[in-house]
Structure 1
Amino acid sequence: MLIIWIGLGAVLLFAAQAWIYSHYWEKGLSAELLFSRESAVEGEECLLLERVENRKLLPLPMLKVKFQVSRNLRFSDEGDGAVTDKYYRNDILSLGPRQRVTRKIPFLCGARGYYRIRGLDLVAADLFLTREMIAEAEADTTLYVYPRPAAGVELDTALQKLNGEILAKRHMLEDPFEYRGIREYAAFDEMKTINWKATARMGELMVNMRNFTSLRAVRIFLNLEDSGILKNDRLVELCISIAVRFAGELLGQGIRVAVYANGRDVLTGEPMKMQPSAAPGHMESINRAFARLDLEKEVYPFSEVFERELEEEGKDIATLFLSVDRSAAFQELIRHFAGSGADFSWMCPLFPRMEGLVEDAEKLHFIRLNAEEMLNGK
């Protein structure tokens, strides 16, 4: 008889706990995911904070926290996760009454990008681990991973030469709003340059001498098309890294920088168009725009989206093209641009075994860079 009562009690206990857990396991339960910072650079280590809190007296002997994120974020502790097109993580923990658990999960930022975690699943079990209950929790956290600036001996030499040419031209343009003194009138001077007060004081015609100003801007154009039979995403990404390196150096010298790229923004779907600026925070804006470029989607035709910008004239603008695309159409575009007399260079990172396939390379200001050296230096 005792055995019957024990068995009946066990059945009632099992049924009671099953009913209690099915109705109350979610009560007072919260979970959130947060990246430890808003931005990082490719190759840096970052943390994902996982916080789970049980604010009730009912314990949770087993709770699974499931979410998915890009496989470009490489977790050192993969837990019970799986990697396919995305990384699917499954963390298992146990929560007592009124307990909070915070985990710091390290990961490596494996590639440039804009990463977002939206939502997570909570899977709990009853006291005897015989039944699972599932619920969705809200989560929304984002991380910008900026491209790592490119480095390499050959690149350093090319950028130093290009930077030197730009600096040499900084003081060749007169500023109509700033004066550095007066001098006697000459036959080639315009009437509007005459300083009448100084003329009256000196008794002869005197003219203002204008000061010189720096380059109005340096424009960086990235053609992210790859018309080759075998696509090489590493070379396209390398162009972005070179652009980041050069933009940072120019802004550090107070030179205004504009950046244009024909990739699609992952948030807006628009091409990248960063207007000339040297204001504080401009490099941050450039990095964020690069992080949001989605190269898995088809890029815009280069000549079409930047037709107006390419036709802009001005001796106070220097232009850098970055493109691994060496198609006849792109070479013709560069050839046409060269005919305008504009100051420009075309940099192209290639592996040593790859052919340049560029006619009139000198006329097109073509600079071949050793991609292998830069990639191996990362």
Structure 2
Amino acid sequence: MLIIWIVFGAVFLFYLQKWIYGHYWEKDLSAELSFSRESAVEGEVCQLSERVENGKLLPLPMLKVKFQVSRKLRFSDEGDGAVTDKYYRNDILSLGPRQRVIRTIPFVCGARGYFRLREMDLVAADLFLTREMISSATADSTLYVYPAPVSGVELDSALQKLNGEILAKRHMLEDPFEYRGIREYAPYDEMKTINWKATARTGDLMVNIRNYTSLRAVRIFLNLADTGILKNEQLVELCISIAARFAGELLEQGIRVAVYANGEDVLTGDPMKMQPSAGPGHMESINRAFARISLEEGVYPFGELFRGELEEEGKDMATLFLSVDRSPEFQEDIRTFARMGTDFTWMCPLFPRMESHVEEEEALHFIRLDAEEMLNGK
């Protein structure tokens, strides 16, 4: 008889704890995921904070915390996670009454991007681990990963040369609204520069001498299309990194910078159009815009998208094109721009084994860069 009562009591306790856990396991249970920083640079180490608190007297012998993040964030401790198109992590905890557990999980920012934690799943078990109960918790934390700086002998040389030309041009542009005197006409002078009143007064052709003005801005155009048969995202990412480095160097010198890219912003769905500025925080805005560019759904047609910007009067602007796309359509866009008489440079990172397939490279101001050297230096 005693054995029967023991068995009955065990069965009663089993179903009682099962009922209790089924109704109260979520009570006063909170969980939070957050990145340790708002922004980082590709290749840096960051941390993910995982905080779980059980505020009731009922213990939780097993609690699984499940969430997913981009596989571009590489965790050194993969736990019970799996990596496919995303990284699915599964951490197992044990919480006593009114206990808080905080875990700090390091990871490497493997690539540029905008990463957001949206939610996580909590899976608890009863005392005998015979039943699992599932709930979801909100997680709202974001991380901007900026493009990493790049260097290389060819790139450094090309950027130094271009930077020198820009600095020289800052004080060589004539301002059509300010004059500093008149002089005698020379054969190379344009008719519109002739001062007819001074000519009538002196009897000789006289022309106006204009003051010089500063370079208004530097425009960086990124064509992020990859029209080759074999897609190579590394080269496209190199273009973004080169643009970030050059924009930073120019802004440090007080030169206004505009950046245009035909990639889609993951938040707005619009292409990147950063208007000229040299104000505080402009580089931060550029880096954040770079981080939000997504290449997964393709890009906008370059020539069609930036026709208005390309047709702008650019005599007091320097223009840099960055593109691994060497398609006939893009080359024609460059030729059309070249006919306007505006100074520009087209930089293209390629691997040594790749052919450029660019006709009239000199006319298109084409500069080939060694992508392998730059990638090895990252």
The answer to whether the superposition gives a TM-score over 0.5 is yes
Equivalence for 1:61:
61
SS at 1:40 equivalent = strand
Give the deviation of 1:177 after TM superposition: 9.1
Give the deviation of 1:219 after TM superposition: 0.3
Equivalence for 2:248:
248
Equivalence for 1:239:
239
Measure, in 2, the Cα distance between the counterparts of 1:24 and 1:314: 69
1:51 is aligned to 2:75: no
- Relative to structure 1, the CA distance from residue 219 to residue 56 in structure 2 (aligned partners, 3 Å threshold; closer, same or farther) is same
Give the deviation of 1:173 after TM superposition: 3.0
Aligned residues: 360
SS at 1:273 equivalent = strand
Measure, in 2, the Cα distance between the counterparts of 1:25 and 1:177: 77
Equivalence for 2:41:
41
Give the deviation of 1:314 after TM superposition: 2.9
35-44 or 9-18, which moves further after superposition? 9-18
Equivalence for 1:26:
26
1:134 is aligned to 2:131: no
Measure, in 2, the Cα distance between the counterparts of 1:211 and 1:92: 72
SS at 1:68 equivalent = strand
1:122 is aligned to 2:122: yes
CA deviation vs aligned residue, 1:236-276 (integer Å, no higher than 9, x gap):
11110110111010011000000001011111111110000
SS at 1:262 equivalent = strand
Measure, in 2, the Cα distance between the counterparts of 1:329 and 1:16: 73
1:316 is aligned to 2:323: no
SS at 1:290 equivalent = helix
Measure, in 2, the Cα distance between the counterparts of 1:176 and 1:24: 79
The amino acid that maps onto 2:214 is S
1:7 is aligned to 2:4: no
The amino acid that maps onto 2:312 is E
2-11 or 151-160, which moves further after superposition? 2-11
SS at 1:104 equivalent = strand
CA deviation vs aligned residue, 1:120-169 (integer Å, no higher than 9, x gap):
10000011111111111111111111111221111000100000000111
CA deviation vs aligned residue, 1:89-120 (integer Å, no higher than 9, x gap):
00000111111111100001001111111111
Equivalence for 1:105:
105
- Relative to structure 1, the CA distance from residue 363 to residue 210 in structure 2 (aligned partners, 3 Å threshold; closer, same or farther) is closer
Q: Which runs of 5+ in 1 are unaligned?
A: 192-208
Give the deviation of 1:322 after TM superposition: 0.5
Give the deviation of 1:336 after TM superposition: 1.4
Equivalence for 1:204:
none
1:286 is aligned to 2:313: no
- The alignment's C-alpha RMSD in Å is 2.1
CA deviation vs aligned residue, 1:26-72 (integer Å, no higher than 9, x gap):
00000010000111110001001101011111110110000011111
Give the deviation of 1:213 after TM superposition: 3.5
The amino acid that maps onto 2:79 is G
Measure, in 2, the Cα distance between the counterparts of 1:223 and 1:148: 19
Matched residues, percent identical? 80
Match runs of 1:179-258 below 5 Å: 212-258=212-258
How does the TM-score come out when normalised to structure 2?
A: 0.91
Measure, in 1, the Cα distance between the counterparts of 2:327 and 2:276: 28
Equivalence for 2:351:
351
Equivalence for 1:270:
270
CA deviation vs aligned residue, 1:318-348 (integer Å, no higher than 9, x gap):
0000011111111111111111110100001
Measure, in 1, the Cα distance between the counterparts of 2:178 and 2:304: 38
Q: Which runs of 5+ in 2 are unaligned?
A: 186-192, 196-208
13-22 or 211-220, which moves further after superposition? 211-220
Give the deviation of 1:214 after TM superposition: 2.1
Measure, in 2, the Cα distance between the counterparts of 1:147 and 1:187: 53
SS at 2:331 equivalent = helix
SS at 1:285 equivalent = helix
